[in-house]
Structure 1
């Protein structure tokens, strides 16, 4: 029963995170800047997680060194979100989400290069598969663009590197000893602060009063951010990080379905093949990394 619950938590986490492109593009469509979208997303989500943590009895006290570590990690996490929003603005959201899903490969490479973890033929094969998949994906969406395609792809790659750095940082720093809810809450709160500062230099942050727009804000802050992160923690506790990572494949699938159905993004045979190759490559790395 615990395993079934864990699988359901993992599926809930990845599928709700896949809703992020939908609400992001809806907010951008009503005139929001990238910084405004992310200010509301991380600000509301951090408040919700803070309230949840207090009700759960979490200790939010951090030492000076722990706080410094969390601050540095929040820079990586904020860079991930900002680069993804820029990607959504320029290329198909499903394509951006699928490229972002390659972050386990970056984690594997960083661990091999900087922490002397042993590489394997499987890891390099997975990297090759993911590159082929990314090429097919870009070709399959070549006829669709919202702006600068090159900027969109580069931004997606930046999100991969930044998120991979965040995960490695969590594993290899003092953050590993911090409660997951507390860590996520602080990271989001720092991120919201960064985005507020960025917004002040790029036109300011509006105080939203429109109820319909607030539905989009709550959509991206609650299910696509707060709920997704809390479900992720529950899934890891129940079934471990390996199986949870595999179920993360629902994230780009959800984004692709929403992109096709809501935003009329293309879905070609080449694009489908690219998605399958990337998902297969990531699954291969995740499974092999847990074997002795």
Structure 2
């Protein structure tokens, strides 16, 4: 079993599930979601540049790789986050998160019907179980606005694009630190152009806010992104998407621990079902002896 890829994917999911709770603290200090996204990418650039220099990794990339990374950061990062955070203004966070986390389904469907890959019964059953688990996070009282719902759903599609683009365009073969350096560089530039003139980026923030932003940047834009790339390179995009479902579970736990949010029955059931889905995939894959291809076709 490719346990290394699983562990790196879970680590990235835990980080991506935890850092929004930290980011939420900065919002009370004058920051906002789009500004946070810009700074999270921007502050990662010098740290990644230093890592590349210390490891003596050349910055040079091919023109084709640069164009693919630019598209990746624009659609998979800037557009995804912009749509998801904008959807919060129309529907509840619970409903938006639920619709966004349909992306493992989109990845599986794309792999099956676009890339003509064989999906094993284990992956299919895990996805179905996970789907019902994610539905328990749905906030039925605030999911009626069609604009917000479409934004959140499309953010799931664009994030699925992010996962598949890294995998299918061979970007996982690029050094992970180099790839992440160019992703955050392009993303920060795109977010700056897209949000500066709208006044969304906030520079006049207290020191506490900047300290938290830097922590989030190191965790999410470096450790999280690099870990996810390693995970995808080892276990593939579909399996990585399923193990990424640790993210909403981590978000629930973070909300309870940090913000003393109420842990209701629906959230508990959702977490349990998602964990069952992930455990089933891990056990089934262990028995098969591999993650990328299963012997049973659908």
Which bin holds the TM-score, normalised by the shorter protein? 0.7 to 0.9
Q: CA deviation at 1:184?
A: 1.5
Q: CA deviation at 1:187?
A: 1.2
Q: Distance in 2 between matches of 1:91 and 1:131?
A: 19
Q: How many residues align?
A: 284
Q: Distance in 1 between matches of 2:109 and 2:227?
A: 27
Counterparts of 1:77-156 in structure 2, within 5 Å, are: 77-86=77-86, 91-92=92-93, 100-119=100-119, 122=122, 124-138=124-138, 141-142=139-140, 153-156=149-152
Q: Is the 8 A contact 1:21 1:88 kept in 2?
A: no
Distance 1:178 1:261, change over 3 A: same
- What TM-score does the superposition give when structure 2 sets the normalisation length? 0.77
Q: Is the 8 A contact 1:18 1:224 kept in 2?
A: no
Gap runs ≥5 in structure 2:
286-290
Q: CA deviation at 1:46?
A: 2.8
Q: CA deviation at 1:125?
A: 4.3
Note if 1:14 corresponds to 2:13. Answer: yes
Distance 1:282 1:155, change over 3 A: farther
Distance 1:235 1:112, change over 3 A: closer
- What TM-score does the superposition give when structure 1 sets the normalisation length? 0.79
What's the counterpart of residue 56 of structure 2?
Answer: 57
Q: CA deviation at 1:121?
A: 5.1
Q: Distance in 1 between matches of 2:170 and 2:131?
A: 33
Q: Deviations over 1:238-278 (max 9, x none)?
A: x7558876654442222111223334544222232233334
Q: Is the 8 A contact 1:136 1:271 kept in 2?
A: yes
Q: CA deviation at 1:30?
A: 2.7
Distance 1:25 1:249, change over 3 A: same
> Which is richer in helix?
1
What's the counterpart of residue 166 of structure 2?
Answer: 170
Q: Is the 8 A contact 1:35 1:196 kept in 2?
A: no
Q: Distance in 2 between matches of 1:255 and 1:67?
A: 33
CA RMSD of aligned residues (A): 3.5
What's the counterpart of residue 73 of structure 1?
Answer: 72
Q: Distance in 2 between matches of 1:284 and 1:155?
A: 31
Q: Distance in 2 between matches of 1:50 and 1:85?
A: 28
